[in-house]
Amino acid sequence: MPTLKIVRGIKIDCYYGDHPPPHVHAIYGEFEALIEIDYLSIYGGYLPCRQEKIAISFVKENQEKLLTIFNKMNPRKYRK
């Protein structure tokens, strides 16, 4: 489970063998949310409001790169 980046205390992880849709895991303390890369939305878990905005902003700024990373780590799971 590589940590791709730590943004203001929020770990952004992507896992090998993960399920579709393409997403990253945003982890802040005991909170964790799954952020869908294509739609920039949380579809599982929870982050406090401020951390949610920071994490989604990071995903938006790095959308193409994160989608490429997800597809390389999960080659049979999803193709856009």
Smallest CA-to-CA distance from 66 within 51, 78, 53 is with 78
Q: How many separate domains does the chain show?
A: 1
Per-residue pLDDT of 2-61, as tens digits, reads: 899 999 999 999 999 888 899 999 999 999 999 999 999 999 999 999 999 999 999 999
**What domain range includes position 53?**
3-73
pLDDT of residue 79 exceeding 80 = no
Whether 78 is in a domain gets the answer no
Predicted confidence band of residue 80 (pLDDT cuts 50, 70, 90)? low
Contact status, residue 16 vs residue 27, Cβ threshold 8 Å: no
**Rounded Cα gap, residues 76 and 26, in angstroms:** 23
Whether 58 is in a domain gets the answer yes
**What values do phi and psi take at 27, rounded to 5?**
-120, 130
Predicted structure pTM score: 0.90
